């Protein structure tokens, strides 16, 4: 059997690739034609499925129900493929090995539908870069643990201060990612600590071992690097990006990386933000910093992903003129056109920090001469720590389909893909996987990992289509599917209802970001405020009287957001400080909306728990038991959110609940 199709360790969940998902393919005669590493991966998959389900891997033309054919010639890395069904045979045809692998997994997703009717369809990725960043530390960090913002156990890659000796489970993880079209993986935390920095130098042979495991699934690896590496690793006196010795050090070090990993993807950098070193220390800007790394990578075809998450995180809460939401645009928009061609500026989808609701970052529409990647967060930092069911694909679908210039312009996904007047960037997300037996801690959080890969491949897929795919692959009992859809489909909006209202954000416990603490950040230097007082709530980000953030958007949104009369309800408190009696477009007042949504959100979690209880016996017992316990915690937390938020605003406003429900 192919070494990359090794059985999972005992007790580890197969996620969306259980044996049952491969039965329609594995029970038939299948022919695999072509050469190359990824074709060998496909051949190994077919052989394993056939051995499990009674099918056969054959060589003779005209004898198979499924032909998987890679065209002869050099593999240019083409990821597109065509599936044609005619005269009793389904044929997957691809120019490259990556395309054949993606075609194989599309057949798995189609199941019996791949072997019915007569049809032809071409499939190609809408984004050329589909990347997962892992915020893993080699050592266990005293504050952030082994995986920063990780809620699924320890690292898949590292144990006891080194890359794991046994990478069998990493191979299984790479197979899951390859099946959804991920083609790049960042292997370490963007906050680069002392040991992780050494992945670039003396620990590089172990990085090469990880690259060897990801490569057969069509995935290239990247490393997060510290901007100060010429000092901390190279012994130089400076990391000034314009210093010739610094340029030479990056060039030599990068050449060593490619000698060990010829298909290395490049670097990920977080600089001059939240204490990370950067070019500002030398009077340089982000373009200067990114370009020195880009020029070291350029001879080898590598790319720098330079994160745009930058802000003054020591601001004075008394100063209403500063605004964390403005920071990325203020820093990066003036630099448009100054980044080298192999620099991708990686922009968080929202301007604050992965909130359950915030506007799309205005940076995405402001740098037409710069490659931009849009960054999402699969790990549930602000959406329940993978203790809460919170299916995030509807949120991402909404943000990716947003049109910054109105109906006449392209979408956020179009900008990332270079389908408008902009160069190609990509989609990136922070992973939610760890060494937990269920991969993502909460078994239902696997749908977020799956969903990111599928949306990155094709942003036209609806959230319902993606969820149905995942449910159909993961849970073979068709009688369980309706209940799972009902439980998960609207769970992001349920979470939004019982947490921070109307886009104001945060209200979470500082540091950990789990559970309610309405004033937890209100007087902190982190710039995430709600400004609630006796008269009203919300942040004035208008041009007329506030921070001017609305002016960073192009028309028509700069004007839509400027007025509380036209601002969408769900973002009202992000952009405006309004009285509690302000009437929303829904017809409710702000304070009554807060009461109603928090009671409703809590009640929806009660219904979710009841729906799950009805699935006993229709889902695997270990999955049922894990989710049952987590739903119990979700209900406890939703109750606490409801009571704390409603009580806070009742005491601030003095306005009673119009429906007379109990508020403390």
Beta strands in 144-241 (DSSP E): 145-147, 158-159, 162-163, 184-186, 220-224
Q: Which of 353, 459, 489, 570 is catalytic?
A: 353
As a whole number of Å, the CA-based R_g of the chain is 25
Distance of CA 267 to the CA centre of its chain: 18
- Closest among 4, 54, 44, 1 to 24, alpha carbons compared: 54
Whether 381 sits among the annotated catalytic residues: the reply is yes
Q: Which of 121, 256, 274, 482 is catalytic?
A: 274
Task: Confirm if 217 and 180 have CB atoms less than 8 A apart.
Answer: no
Please state the three-class secondary structure of 575-631 as a single string.
HCCEECCCECCCCCEHHHHHHHHHHHHHHHHHHHHHHHHCCCCCCCHHHHHHHHHHH
- Spatial distance between the Cα atoms of 186 and 544, rounded to a whole number of angstroms: 42
Planar angle of CA 222, 228, 229, nearest 5 degrees: 55
81 contact partners, CB below 8 Å, separation of at least 6: 92, 93, 94, 99, 100, 102, 103, 106, 122, 123, 124
Strand pairing category for 184-186 and 158-159: unpaired
What is the sign, positive or negative, of the torsion defined by CA atoms of 361, 285, 273, 198? positive
Distance of CA 356 to the CA centre of its chain: 13
What is the sign, positive or negative, of the torsion defined by CA atoms of 540, 542, 543, 544? negative
Strand pairing category for 371-377 and 56-58: unpaired
Q: Which structure tokens are listed for 88? A: 């009793």
Alpha helix ranges (H) inside 54-133? 97-110
Q: Which structure tokens are listed for 219? A: 């995935």
Helix axes 393-400, 491-498, angle to 10 degrees: 90
Unique residue bearing structure tokens 């720590």: 385
338 contact partners, CB below 8 Å, separation of at least 6: 287, 291
Q: Which structure tokens are listed for 134? A: 């892992």
- Spatial distance between the Cα atoms of 232 and 44, rounded to a whole number of angstroms: 44
- Spatial distance between the Cα atoms of 104 and 30, rounded to a whole number of angstroms: 11
- Spatial distance between the Cα atoms of 366 and 604, rounded to a whole number of angstroms: 39
Task: Confirm if 83 and 36 have CB atoms less than 8 A apart.
Answer: no
Q: Which of 381, 414, 435, 459 is catalytic?
A: 381
Distance of CA 136 to the CA centre of its chain: 15
- Spatial distance between the Cα atoms of 187 and 223, rounded to a whole number of angstroms: 6
- Spatial distance between the Cα atoms of 32 and 58, rounded to a whole number of angstroms: 8
- Closest among 399, 376, 272, 377 to 330, alpha carbons compared: 272
Residues in the chain: 664
Residue 169 has a CB neighbour count (10 Å cut-off) of 18
- Spatial distance between the Cα atoms of 179 and 450, rounded to a whole number of angstroms: 9
Q: Which structure tokens are listed for 67? A: 């032909």
Give the count of alpha carbons within 13 A of 189, CB side only: 24
Distance of CA 536 to the CA centre of its chain: 34
Q: Which residues are catalytic?
A: 274, 353, 381
């Amino acid at each position: 059997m192919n070494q990359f199709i090794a059985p999972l360790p005992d007790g580890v969940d197969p996620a969306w690739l259980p044996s049952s998902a491969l039965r329609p393919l594995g029970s038939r005669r299948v022919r695999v034609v072509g050469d190359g590493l990824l074709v060998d991966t496909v051949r190994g998959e077919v052989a394993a499925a056939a051995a499990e389900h009674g099918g056969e891997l054959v060589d003779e033309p005209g004898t198979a129900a499924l032909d998987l054919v890679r065209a002869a010639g050099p593999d240019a890395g083409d990821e597109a493929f065509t599936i044609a069904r005619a005269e009793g045979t389904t044929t997957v045809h691809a120019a490259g090995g990556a395309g054949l692998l993606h075609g194989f997994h599309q057949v798995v997703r189609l199941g019996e539908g791949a072997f019915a009717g007569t049809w032809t369809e071409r499939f190609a990725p809408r984004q050329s870069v589909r990347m997962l960043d892992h915020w893993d530390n080699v050592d266990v960090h005293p504050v952030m643990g082994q995986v920063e913002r990780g809620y699924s156990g320890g690292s898949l890659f590292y144990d006891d201060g080194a890359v794991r000796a046994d990478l069998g489970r990493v191979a299984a993880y790479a197979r899951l990612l390859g099946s959804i079209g991920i083609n790049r993986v960042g292997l370490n935390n963007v906050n680069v600590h002392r040991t992780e920095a050494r992945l670039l130098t003396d620990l590089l042979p172990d990085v090469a071992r990880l690259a060897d495991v990801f490569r057969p699934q069509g995935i290239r690896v990247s490393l997060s690097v510290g901007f100060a590496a010429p000092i901390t690793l190279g012994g130089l006196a400076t990391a000034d990006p314009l210093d010739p010795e610094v340029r030479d050090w990056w060039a030599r070090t990068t050449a060593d990386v490619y000698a060990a990993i010829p298909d290395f993807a490049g670097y990920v950098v977080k600089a001059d933000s939240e204490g990370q070193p950067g070019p500002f220390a030398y009077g340089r800007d982000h373009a200067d910093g990114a370009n020195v790394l880009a020029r070291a990578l350029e001879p080898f075809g590598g790319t720098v992903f330079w994160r745009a998450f930058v802000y003054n995180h020591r601001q004075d809460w008394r100063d209403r003129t500063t605004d964390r939401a403005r920071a990325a645009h203020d820093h990066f928009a003036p630099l448009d056109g100054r980044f080298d061609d192999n620099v991708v500026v990686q922009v968080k989808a929202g301007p604050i920090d992965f909130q359950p609701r915030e506007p799309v970052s205005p940076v995405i529409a402001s740098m037409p001469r710069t490659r931009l990647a849009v960054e999402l967060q699969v790990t549930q930092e602000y959406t329940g720590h993978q203790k809460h069911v919170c299916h995030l694909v509807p949120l991402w679908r909404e943000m990716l389909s947003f049109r910054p210039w109105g109906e006449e312009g392209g979408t956020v996904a179009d900008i990332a893909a270079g389908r408008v007047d902009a160069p190609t960037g990509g989609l990136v997300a922070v992973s939610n996987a760890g060494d937990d037996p269920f991969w993502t801690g909460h078994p239902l959080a696997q749908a977020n990992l799956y969903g990111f890969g599928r949306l990155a491949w094709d942003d036209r897929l609806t959230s319902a289509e993606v969820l149905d795919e995942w449910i159909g692959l993961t849970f073979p009992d068709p009688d369980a599917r309706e209940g799972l859809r009902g439980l998960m489909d609207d769970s992001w909006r349920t979470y939004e209802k019982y947490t921070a209202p109307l886009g104001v954000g945060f209200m979470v416990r500082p540091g950990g970001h789990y559970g309610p603490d309405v004033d937890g950040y209100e007087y902190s230097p982190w710039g995430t405020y709600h400004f609630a007082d006796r008269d009203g709530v919300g942040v004035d980000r208008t041009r007329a009287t506030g921070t001017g953030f609305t002016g960073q958007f192009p028309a028509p949104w700069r004007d839509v957001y400027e007025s509380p009369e036209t601002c969408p309800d769900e973002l009202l408190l992000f952009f405006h400080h309004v009285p509690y009696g302000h009437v929303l477009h829904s017809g409710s007042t702000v304070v009554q909306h807060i009461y109603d949504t928090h009671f409703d959100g809590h009640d929806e979690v009660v219904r979710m728990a009841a729906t799950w209880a009805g699935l006993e016996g229709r889902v695997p017992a270990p999955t049922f038991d894990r989710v049952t316990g987590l739903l119990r915690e979700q209900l406890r937390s939703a109750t606490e959110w409801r009571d704390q938020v409603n009580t806070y605003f009742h005491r601030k406003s003095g306005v009673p609940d119009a429906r007379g429900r109990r508020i403390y």
